[in-house]
Amino acid sequence: MAALHFSIIMLYLISSAGYVIFLFAQKEIFHRFSYYLLVAGFAVHTALIGVDCIRIGHIPVNSLHQTLSFAAWTLAGVYILVKYRFRVNVLGVFAVPFATLIMIAAFLIPEASMAPTRLFKSLWLVVHIVIIFIGEAALALACGTGILYLLQEHAIKTKSNRFFLKRLPSLEFLDRNGYMFIVTGFTLLTIGLITGFIYAQLVWGRFWSWNNKEIWSVITWLIYAALLHERLVSGWRGRRAAIMSIIGFAALLFTFLGVNFLLEGHHDEFTRW
């Protein structure tokens, strides 16, 4: 299993390197090569997760090791899809190294062995987990796009940095894609939260229990809701939208991991190690 894990990391790592080289050299061949490596890594990763599923009988998000691996897998998958559909090649410079880092972190954390819980058997929960993870991957891409936007915007405003000006796509393109990622991510996050509440109702008999995890989820959701609302009503686009998508993602990361480590709440099996 470790060998499988290791080969995934190697494929992702070489792919990341390829994307970085692509950023500097701007040769088509590098990003195509990196993309194929990423797809190969993703295929192996899918196999690994499939094996885990069969072994433990449910989605492998039962420990920090599994959760991170699953997050990296969704991020890689979502990026592959986005790149295939929208041709945002340069975003790979953000997405692939990020997925690789998560994967390396997962590799360094020993797999906690524990008895499978009955909790993970419900269909609502499967839907809740899968949708939230895909939504989070989309919001990660929104954050990456926001960072690229700020770099490009800075290059254009200060008129000094020709490096990014030449290599990054236009502001309008980045803004439009960032918006698309946020709309997608937000929609999935909403559906994910609703299924989560329904599941809570089924298991604990109540939708809402003032749990830290729930509170922070709603805070994150509100940040993105505010961003979308302001965009539609008063035209928060460009720089502000980019900054908000980064702040939103920071809140998301805190909800995802920070709450489990720093505060008390349910979902703790999520980050066991």
Partner 1 sequence: MTNLQDGNGDPLMSPGNGPDLSQIVLIGINHKTAPVEIREKLAFSTEETATALGTFRNSPFIDEAMIISTCNRVEVILIVKNQTQAVETVFSYIGDTKSVSPDRLKTLAYVFSGDSAVRHVFRVAASLDSMMIGEPQILGQVKDAFKASVNTKTTGVIINRLMHKAFLTAKRVRSETGIGGHAVSISYAAVELAKKIFDSLDGKTVLLVGAGEMAELAVEHLIRNTSSGNLLVANRTLSSGVALAERFRGQAIRMEEIPEKLKFADIIISSTGSPDFVITRDQVQPIMRWRKNRALFFIDIAVPRDIDPAINRIDNAYVYDIDDLQGVINENIDIRQTESLKAERIVDESVIKFIEWHEHLDVIPTIIGLRKKLDAIVDMEMCKTMHALDHLSSQDRLAIERMTESMVRKILHDPTLFLKNPGSHRNKSVYLDFARKLFNLDS
Task: Please give the residue ranges that form the binding site for partner 1 (CB under 8 A).
Answer: 152, 156-157, 159, 162, 165, 168-173, 176, 234-240
| Contact yes or no for 70/78 (Cβ under 8 A) | no
Please compute Rg for the chain using Cα positions.
Answer: 19
CB of 83 to partner 1, least distance (A): 17
Which is closer to partner 1, CB of 116 or CB of 235? 235
Which is closer to partner 1, CB of 152 or CB of 260? 152
Which is closer to partner 1, CB of 44 or CB of 243? 243
Which is closer to partner 1, CB of 155 or CB of 200? 155
The residue type found at 142 is: A
Question: CA-CA distance, 124 to 15, in Å (whole number)?
Answer: 35
Distance of CA 21 to the CA centre of its chain: 23
CB of 156 to partner 1, least distance (A): 6
CB of 227 to partner 1, least distance (A): 13
Question: CA-CA distance, 69 to 102, in Å (whole number)?
Answer: 7
CB of 93 to partner 1, least distance (A): 17
CB of 173 to partner 1, least distance (A): 4
Contacts of residue 232, defined as CB under 8 A and 6 or more positions apart, other chains included, come to: none
Which is closer to partner 1, CB of 176 or CB of 272? 176
Which among 170, 163, 161, 167 has a CA at the least distance from the CA of 92?
Answer: 167
Contacts of residue 194, defined as CB under 8 A and 6 or more positions apart, other chains included, come to: none
Count other C-beta atoms under 10 Å from residue 141's C-beta: 29
